[in-house]
Amino acid sequence: MQPDTIKAQELMRLLTQGLLAHAEEKTASELGNRSQYIGMSDIGKGVECMRAAVASKLGISAIPATTDVGELAHEDLVRVLGRQIILQRGHWQEYGIEKALTATGVKLVPQLEISIEHNGVTIKAHLDFTLVWGGKRPAVRILELKSNGRIPESLYASYEAQLYGQVGLLKSCWAQPCFSVPQTDLRQVTFPQAIKKMFGVDLPESSDNVDVEAWVLSISMSEVKPFGPYLPDMDMLEACMQTAVAIWRAAEDVRAGNLGLSDLDYCRGFHPLCDWCDVNGDCPKFQAASIPSDSACGLELEELAMLKERKAVLEERITDAEERIRQTYSLIGTQDWISTGAHRFRVTTVAGRKTLDRSPVVDKLASLIGDELKVQTALEQCEKEGKPHDRLYIGKINKPLKLAA
Ligand code: SF4
């Protein structure tokens, strides 16, 4: 190996070590010992996949200990570093967003903790940001930050469960000593007590007439999209609490040897969580024929997976380059072709695709015909279903890490 390559690898190793150490410290100082309670992210995961939620509660993880980084094979080092960057970029964004919100003068509590006991299980919510307004129309807004490579069209069920858990707990525990604020002496106080102490703002003793909402801010590297509002809903809160208890009990059963991880329910069908799951290597969902990786078919499948990864990287680069060129084109202010080398470029406006919005069509026809059922039936009779087709899914198996020779 070239000396420069070795130096580059050592630099990556150092960075990986630092990221892992920082993650450990941050989790311990802000979230405490996560094996002792069920958090909102556990509930979110449990709503999607009980097996994955219980595994993470049992501490089963593909993340190496900081002390093992020096021994990781290069390919694993790259994988661990990439994953840490994705996991931790949300914290970096959180820091910047906190500074930005604070600069507006808004009264903001970072990382407010709500802790309760429910059927013998400790359940905690850590709210990224809680914004408060007092006065005659008191209001509270919970903001949960989600860092996404690309902003999703709609919110994942796991995020929504977290939000319903947070906003439901804030509302129902309002006047109970369940609230703590990190890096202050505020421990186990009511919400109005915490706010009075922090900002001198009086809030009502009951949350009944307080305008409480929760929002998710989905942030990519260049976009922000709010999703919400999520309002306190006691049925949703109860569903979250039941999920928390189910995760806790299942983890106890697995620990005691009464259940195996693979006896637990898991999410069916294609699910984005599976690629990220630390226990996808032996998940019963994927227990099917296994073929040797050095067989012709095995090699072809590996090559296809590698090509798809390269395609994803290329597509991202193409999107970035297209965006840059579009912006440059508009700055130049021309409508003509730009020629360079063997190619020419031009930005034009193309008419949007026309689609039929079913809901107003039904309303319009129902008002003409006077019978919505007939309209619905007529539309269904005119629907055309495409032929079923095969789709090839490719997912990464999170294998145990290999130590360097
Ligand atoms: S691989 Fe998918 S289905 Fe299996 S435990 Fe993980 S998230 Fe659940």
pLDDT in tens, 121-137: 999 999 999 999 988 89
Confidence label for 290 from pLDDT (cuts 50, 70 and 90): confident
Q: What is the mean pLDDT of residues 86-105?
A: 91
Which of 155, 133, 152 has the alpha carbon at shortest distance from 203? 133
- Residue 266 CA to ligand 1 center (angstroms) comes to 6
Atom of ligand 1 nearest to the CA of 273: 7
Q: What is the mean pLDDT of residues 345-359?
A: 86
- Strands 121-133 and 38-39 turn out to be parallel
Confidence label for 32 from pLDDT (cuts 50, 70 and 90): confident
- Residue 51 CA to ligand 1 center (angstroms) comes to 7
Is the predicted pLDDT of residue 403 greater than 60, yes or no? Answer: no
Q: What is the C-alpha separation between 282 and 361, in angstroms, rounded?
A: 49
Phi/psi of residue 114, each to 5°? Answer: -120, 125
Is the predicted pLDDT of residue 33 greater than 90, yes or no? Answer: no
Report the pLDDT value the prediction gives residue 99, as an integer from 0 to 100: 94
Nearest CA to ligand 1 atom 2: 274
Average pLDDT in the chain: 89
Report the pLDDT value the prediction gives residue 400, as an integer from 0 to 100: 58
pLDDT digits (tens, 9 = 90+) for 368-398: 988 888 888 988 888 888 888 887 878 777 7
Mutate to test the pocket of ligand 1, among 58, 61, 277, 278 (most ligand atoms within 8 A of CB): 277
- Residue 279 CA to ligand 1 center (angstroms) comes to 7
Taking CB atoms within 8 Å and a gap of at least 24, the contacts of 309-316 are: none
Is the predicted pLDDT of residue 38 greater than 90, yes or no? Answer: yes
Which of 143, 119, 121 has the alpha carbon at shortest distance from 39? 121
Confidence label for 9 from pLDDT (cuts 50, 70 and 90): confident
What is the SS3 assignment for 100? helix
Report the pLDDT value the prediction gives residue 402, as an integer from 0 to 100: 54
Side chain identity, residue 53? A
Confidence label for 46 from pLDDT (cuts 50, 70 and 90): very high
Which residue in the block uniquely carries the two structure tokens 């032996």? Answer: 282
Higher-pLDDT residue of 223 and 271 is: 223
- E-strand spans in 23-156? 38-39, 107-118, 121-133, 139-147
Side chain identity, residue 387? K
Q: What is the mean pLDDT of residues 198-226?
A: 93
- Residue 301 CA to ligand 1 center (angstroms) comes to 21
Which of 98, 230, 94 has the alpha carbon at shortest distance from 171? 230
Is the predicted pLDDT of residue 153 greater than 80, yes or no? Answer: yes
Is the predicted pLDDT of residue 71 greater than 90, yes or no? Answer: no
Is the predicted pLDDT of residue 367 greater than 60, yes or no? Answer: yes
Side chain identity, residue 110? P
Q: Which residues line ligand 1 (CB under 6 A)?
A: 49, 51-52, 266-267, 271, 273-274, 277, 279-280, 283, 285
pLDDT digits (tens, 9 = 90+) for 253-283: 999 999 999 899 998 877 778 888 888 888 8
Region of poorest pLDDT, from 81-95, 164-178, 198-212, 234-248: 81-95
Tokens of 138: 């008191």
- Range among 15-29, 55-69, 187-201 rated most confident: 187-201
Is the predicted pLDDT of residue 61 greater than 80, yes or no? Answer: no
Mutate to test the pocket of ligand 1, among 41, 254, 267 (most ligand atoms within 8 A of CB): 267
Higher-pLDDT residue of 289 and 177 is: 177
